[in-house]
Amino acid sequence: MGRKVDAYDKNTGRKLPYKVPERFFDLFGNLRKTPIQKAREADSKAATATSKKEG
């Protein structure tokens, strides 16, 4: 089913009390990733881009 992560409901502005599968972000337009998740993804993308440039 995939990795489960925390999510916010954009309509209510509240964090969901349970974790949801990552694919739910594509299925439900009102779900958003937490700020911490967004920062981790940005860091990992930057690290990947840097490693590709060095090689």
Token pair in block for residue 6 = 């925390």
* Residue 55: predicted pLDDT: 53
pTM of the model: 0.67
- pLDDT, residue 45, reads 83
- Residue pLDDT tens, the chain, 55 long: 678 999 999 999 999 999 999 999 999 999 999 888 888 888 888 887 777 766 5
